[in-house]
Structure 1
């Protein structure tokens, strides 16, 4: 991985370029929250609101300089599809803004605030850390079946390959001490682009207890009372 850009202005330039690249992606059976508006749930100009959320996040992260990164698989239909923020649902927008110091985050949907189980576990863990990690997804969009737009599926290899440069670009902005892959699919994606990382148990599907233990082990004194049960 390349070293951190020498100046914050260069990092911001790379972030703006990343946002433009994200918004340009169009793939079958893939919802791009920075390009598409959902007729069932979105407010007017929702894609633009999510773009603004992402820009505010990246600028805040550049200023914060996180030492670690957590990479998930895809955006979920109850989480990042709606917020435009990795591993974050609408119920945790306030926590996200506080953790990163991100200003101007907006709810981009007009329907009831949505909660996602994975986001709840992720933000429970982040709340126990002294500083937040950089959050991202190997495939930064919401893949779905053709007849089920509000369900989740794993991205396909051809879809990842079409967007692999975006993952490289996101990680190139920073210089992390450690990159963590949340689950086997995220680990496989990072391996395909040659990014050294540690694989952790994904907190979904009964993996939350092991995920919490691994977080406590990895962060040590940098974590505060992460609950092992519940």
Structure 2
């Protein structure tokens, strides 16, 4: 597995009520070549990380409409783009028009991510944006069929980056991570949404031995 093959595998996916940020273009918010930009951003980040010792992959559930749908980057919104570029030492560009949009989950993730001092990649069980029928800017949980495709992709990204451990953010991420990986250490932390911020910070601080 290399970066080019990995990106091609992502682009191969098509599903009902799913926005694939590496092939699809939102007619309202995206630049005309947004899918190309997002694919290039992801490729640049993966290539940068492959040249380093990767501590962990932090795994969430799926892309949200305010974050990853727009950026193509898990747990990352546009407001944190400059910080992401520096953190991953990779050239990335915005794929959307207008004001940068913030996502609460991304805020909590990035406020801790930069404190670790480690090389970390962010990903999801299902690496696309699942939405409700006829409501593209909504969020829904992925289906079992979508999950199965996503877990195959997750195995590929782990093979590509060879992290020392997996951090599963939330119950869904943990349940699925343990199905796939029996040799990598897997740490479960609470998702920072819905009142979980304090627990998330405490559990992450324990893992990374930070105050």
Equivalent in 158, 167, 170 of residue 154 of structure 2: 167
1:8 equivalent in structure 2: none
In the TM superposition, residue 158 of structure 1 has moved relative to its aligned partner by 1.2
2:207 equivalent in structure 1: 218
Equivalent in 112, 130, 136 of residue 125 of structure 1: 112
- TM-score norm. by structure 1 comes to 0.87
1:68 equivalent in structure 2: 56
Equivalent in 118, 123, 128 of residue 136 of structure 1: 123
Query: Is there any run of 5+ residues in structure 2 with no aligned partner, and where?
Result: none
- TM-score norm. by structure 2 comes to 0.94
Given that residues 126 and 132 in structure 1 are in contact (C-alpha distance below 8 angstroms), is that contact kept between their aligned partners in structure 2? no
- Which residues in structure 2 correspond to 1:1-150 (within 5 Å)? 14-103=2-91, 105-150=92-137
Q: Secondary structure at the match of 2:158?
A: helix
In the TM superposition, residue 162 of structure 1 has moved relative to its aligned partner by 2.9
Q: Provide the rounded CA distance (Å) in 2 between the counterparts of 1:54 and 1:114.
A: 19
2:172 equivalent in structure 1: 185
In the TM superposition, residue 194 of structure 1 has moved relative to its aligned partner by 3.4
Query: Is there any run of 5+ residues in structure 1 with no aligned partner, and where?
Result: 1-12, 226-230
RMSD of Structure 2 on Structure 1 (CA): 1.3
Equivalent in 162, 187, 190 of residue 198 of structure 1: 187
Given that residues 125 and 150 in structure 2 are in contact (C-alpha distance below 8 angstroms), is that contact kept between their aligned partners in structure 1? no
Q: Provide the rounded CA distance (Å) in 2 between the counterparts of 1:48 and 1:136.
A: 19
Aligned length: 209
In the TM superposition, residue 131 of structure 1 has moved relative to its aligned partner by 1.9
